[in-house]
A and B are shown apart, each in its own frame.
Chain A
Amino acid sequence: MKESVCNFGPGKVLSGILTTPDADVAKTDAPTALILNAGIVHRIGPFRLHVDIARQMARLGYSTLRMDLSGLGESGPRSGRLQSSDRAELDVADAINFLKRETNNDQVVLMGLCSGAFNAHKVAAKDSRVVGAVFLDGIVFRTMGYYLRHRLGRFLKPRFWRNAVKRRLSDLNQSNSASPAISESEFFADPIPQDQVIRDLNSMMERGVQMLFLYTDGYDDICGRIQFKEMFGLQPDQGQLQVEYYPKSEHTFRLTENRRTACTRITQWFQSRFTVPLAVVGD
């Protein structure tokens, strides 16, 4: 495989690492995976998750661009007064244009964790060049089922109470409490209403966009795979709309075992959805 630095966008202020497979395994007609920043973590991803995904993809014959959105990581700022999500849409469009010039293929599969998934959703809903998307702990809405399973369910678990007490004691013993984590609201300045998300997802389904949603227990607003149908009214399957819930994983896949599971799931999904011409992939 080969990894190279790419600069693109206005004044070439945007940057990323393009990972391409060896020629003997390369699937040249396949779309390129485009991985977006998770929060303010630069393009390597939390605990280097994005590097792991890109390299595993290359071993299977697929190319991946891990990019830094404007103002993040190694990318410079984009001029003009724009909301962060609008900026992200322009940045991704520039990345797709770059890939078109570089690979003569403008079909991409967006991937993102948390704010990355939020940005991926916004772009995927509008841009027909997006033929697939992996949403890691993406947009969620609390449902009645969530309150029953999560709130009541966890109150019945002794480990929940044990951890709550330990955390409390730990906080009390902490002489220098850390500055609070940067709020996700900074990246979700304009939350998308639930009915809009539903319309977007249905539109993507009609367009034949392949989708994989991975949720973790560490994401506080979702509890169980079943919540997907409760939120969006769509029934996940083993085809175009795949949804998984990892009850043992933290939001950012802190443990190597969790990261390995997610990487394998994502790359196998990619392989299964994009090994045949896209025209016949849609279910």
Chain B
Amino acid sequence: MQHFFGHPDSQLFGVYHPARQSTKLRRGVVICPPVGQEYIRSHWSLRLIARQLARKGIAVFRFDYLGIGDSSGSFGDVESTEIWRQNLHQAIERLKELAELDSVMLLGHRLGGLFASEVAMQREDVHLLILWEPTLEGQAYLRASRKLHQKMLDLWVCKMKTANDEQYEELLGFLWRRSLIQELEHRTFSLPTLDLPHLLITDDQALLNSSSCVPGIRKSIHELRPSQWFDLSALETANLNPETTRIIVQNADEMFGRIEKLQQRSGQSVVSI
């Protein structure tokens, strides 16, 4: 079910995928997409994951952040990532309302992984997390984006300059407000502090090797065929990765199964996955 939600002046686009299997279990996933061009490249995969999860009896909510996709506003209007985190809070509330859930899992992809991690730590009603190729360091992300943008301009048919002033900086097809860039540059999430069960899927060795604050709380999967996010020849290529899609769906189902079993035992506060 596609619809707009939120305040009429800043309405967000959302898609609700109701659980397709009749089940007594109350399972729900909010998908936190990437931003910018990575959002466009991931759209198909995230839709596919949502449909497959729904077939497994899991209600799913996809949404577009303000200034992205079908949601209102322009990318260049976004002054801080705070609005995108607020949008994620709205999306969580929306899924809880639509599927009558008490808690949800978040699936964060790329920068969506950063927002999902931050929001998960703030809320009591997020009990599971999947981080797929998360971008947890804003500065590194911007550095790589700038490098690719400069390479793209360097290989342009003629000499081209794009906005890079006090107000805006253009990166890979989108105008970023300077305030947004400055804020994102200082934004980082320390994965070891994440204290809820989570699945990490990435080829980033540093993330894979990082410790977790609670033993057994993380399952890490080394992605063998990661997406080429900073390869110019792949800039407009849809990120289709059926193997990872399958892994995510299967693991989400298993994570729900485990937490439900453990929740039946009273006094269980820490869940191992």
Contact = CB atoms under 8 A, between A and B. Distances in A.
Contacts of B72: 3
- The number of chain B residues touching the other chain, given as a range, is 35 or more
B204 interface: no
Contacts of A15: 2
A217 interface: yes
Interface stretch (B107-115, B154-162, B185-193): B154-162
A43 B15 CA distance: 14
Contacts of A41: 40
A282 interface: no
Nearest to B237: A181
A99 B75 CA distance: 29
B37 interface: yes
Contact of B157 (A42, A46, A159, A252): A159
B265 interface: no
Interface string A249-282: 0101011110000000000000000000000000
Given A42-B43, A44-B69, A47-B173, A159 B158 contact: yes
A248 B160 contact: yes
Interface in A4-53: 4-5, 7, 15, 17, 40-44, 46-48, 51
A248 B162 CA distance: 13
Interface in A217-259: 217-218, 247-248, 250, 252, 254-257
Interface stretch (B95-103, B225-233, B251-259): B225-233
A166 interface: yes
A185 interface: no
B236 A256 contact: no
A222 B152 CA distance: 21
Given A3-B70, A4-B4, A174-B231, A47 B174 contact: yes
Nearest to A255: B162
Contacts of A217: 157
Contacts of A182: 237-238
A254 B152 contact: yes
Contacts of B121: none
B261 interface: no
Interface in B149-188: 151-152, 154-158, 160, 162-163, 170, 172-175
Contacts of A3: 4, 11, 70, 72
A127 to B, nearest CB: 26
A103 B141 CA distance: 45
A217 to B, nearest CB: 5
Nearest to B47: A74
B4 A176 contact: no
B155 A178 contact: no
Interface in B1-60: 2-4, 11, 13, 15, 37, 40, 43-44, 47
A218 B172 CA distance: 16
A254 B37 CA distance: 10
Contacts of A250: 156
A255 B169 CA distance: 12
B234 interface: yes
Given A44-B70, A248-B158, A256 B174 contact: yes
A79 interface: no
Interface of A: 3-5, 7, 15, 17, 40-44, 46-48, 51, 73-74, 159, 163, 166-167, 170, 174, 176-179, 181-182, 217-218, 247-248, 250, 252, 254-257
26 contacts: A7-B2, A17-B70, A40-B238, A42-B40, A44-B40, A44-B69, A44-B70, A51-B70, A159-B158, A166-B154, A166-B155, A170-B151, A178-B233, A178-B237, A181-B233, A181-B234, A217-B157, A218-B157, A248-B156, A252-B236, A254-B173, A255-B170, A255-B173, A256-B162, A256-B174, A256-B175
Closest 8 CB pairs of A and B: A178-B234, A178-B228, A47-B173, A5-B2, A178-B231, A254-B173, A163-B155, A178-B233
Given A178-B233, A256-B175, 18 more contacts: A3-B70, A4-B4, A40-B238, A42-B44, A46-B40, A46-B236, A47-B37, A48-B40, A48-B68, A48-B69, A48-B75, A48-B174, A74-B2, A174-B231, A176-B231, A177-B231, A252-B236, A254-B235
